[in-house]
Copies of this chain bind each other. A is one copy, B any other.
Amino acid sequence: MGLSEENLIGLILALVSSGFIGASFIIKKQGLKRAAAVSGVRAGVGGYYYLLEPLWWVGMIIMIVGEVANFVAYAFAPAVLVTPLGALSIIVSATLAQLVLKEKLHQFGILGCVMCIIGSVIIVVHAPKEQPIKSVLEIWDMATQPAFLAYVGSIIVLVFILVFHFAPRCGHTNVLVYTGICSLMGSLTVMSVKALGTSLKLTFEGENQLIYPETWFFMLVVAICVIMQMNYLNKALDTFNTAVVSPIYYVMFTTLTILASVIMFKDWDGQSGGTIVSEICGFIVVLSGTILLHATKEFERSCSFRGSAPSSPSLSVRLYNGNEDFFLKHDEENGSPSESMCSRRQESY
């Protein structure tokens, strides 16, 4: 339980972020339902009435606050701690969906929530202490060490192969192509977000880092990575069922981010074997909880176990962490799970 003060701030920010992002889905869905009730037109079929609905904007603002908190969390705590806790937003959504939207959660879904919480506790208890960073140049040194450069190199090569060779051939039939691209880019996003966040934190603390070109370079990398990641996440979600994309994305994204963080920040140096094993176990537990929650949703949909929530439109804006669709697209789709591995857009190619 040896969390430093810095790490504790990061942990609280990560938890607040998950709470806000989780709550934002539900508030936005409430807004969409109201807009649909007033206008009689669904966003999914071209209506934009939800833009006039204050509740939708409240949800949007809460989501942005949550994303900012997540960004700042990376400046205070190791990525190994912050990234897996993103799964907690699903629990907040699931709980609020039950309380506010009166959607019923299957008992396996409750077990999935318990798993996510327990796994997060294990991760938090064993999180590595981070050495305080004093300048962006320190991060630059870490980012340019041979091991991390080799990691970045292999990621770029893999992304190129996926984008130019596999995406045109089987991007619409194999869920791993688009999801793989955004997971690979995602690990670089988190590393650059952490570098930029730490630089900005130091700048706000009085030690101006904007004089170094390294800070601006990290900013450029963040922009490129975020755009790439969002673009391919949207493609993945447009092509495949959310219940299929989300768990695969969560596994690959979190695993690669932990790997990148371990290489770049040497998170595991000085940790005992038992601590590292526990961290990995905690991560697998969160992961299993996520799979269980998504599988339950899918199962409920196919077995029509779910409560009779009124239909509500889907949203074109899609979140970086892919959880939004977990609740928003829920009502829009009627495909059976067996269809979910196939492209819904396949017919247009």
Stretch at the interface among A56-64, A133-141, A159-167, A283-291: A283-291
Query: Do the beta carbons of A1 and B274 come within 8 Å of each other?
Result: yes
The CA-CA distance from A271 to B119 in the complex, in Å, is 20
Query: Do the beta carbons of A285 and B115 come within 8 Å of each other?
Result: yes
Q: A residues near B, CB below 8 A?
A: 1-2, 107-108, 111, 114-115, 118-119, 121-122, 125-126, 272-274, 277-278, 281-282, 284-285, 288, 291-292, 295
- Chain B CB count within 10 A is highest, among A126, A281, A291, for A281
Instruction: Give the dominant DSSP class at A's interface.
Output: helix
Min CB distance A8 to B, Å, is: 14
Partner of A285, one of B118, B125, B274, B291: B118
Identify the closest chain B residue to A272 (Cβ): B1
Partner of A121, one of B111, B114, B118, B277: B277
The CA-CA distance from A309 to B277 in the complex, in Å, is 38
- Oligomeric state, in number of copies? 2
Complex interface: chain B residues within 8 A of A274 (CB): 1-2, 125-126
User: Could you list 14 A-B pairs, sorted by A, with CB under 8 Å?
Assistant: A107-B295, A114-B284, A115-B285, A115-B288, A118-B284, A118-B285, A121-B281, A122-B122, A122-B278, A122-B281, A122-B282, A125-B274, A126-B278, A292-B292
Query: Do the beta carbons of B108 and A295 come within 8 Å of each other?
Result: yes
Partner of A108, one of B1, B125, B278, B292: B292
Complex interface: chain B residues within 8 A of A285 (CB): 115, 118-119, 285
The CA-CA distance from A125 to B282 in the complex, in Å, is 12
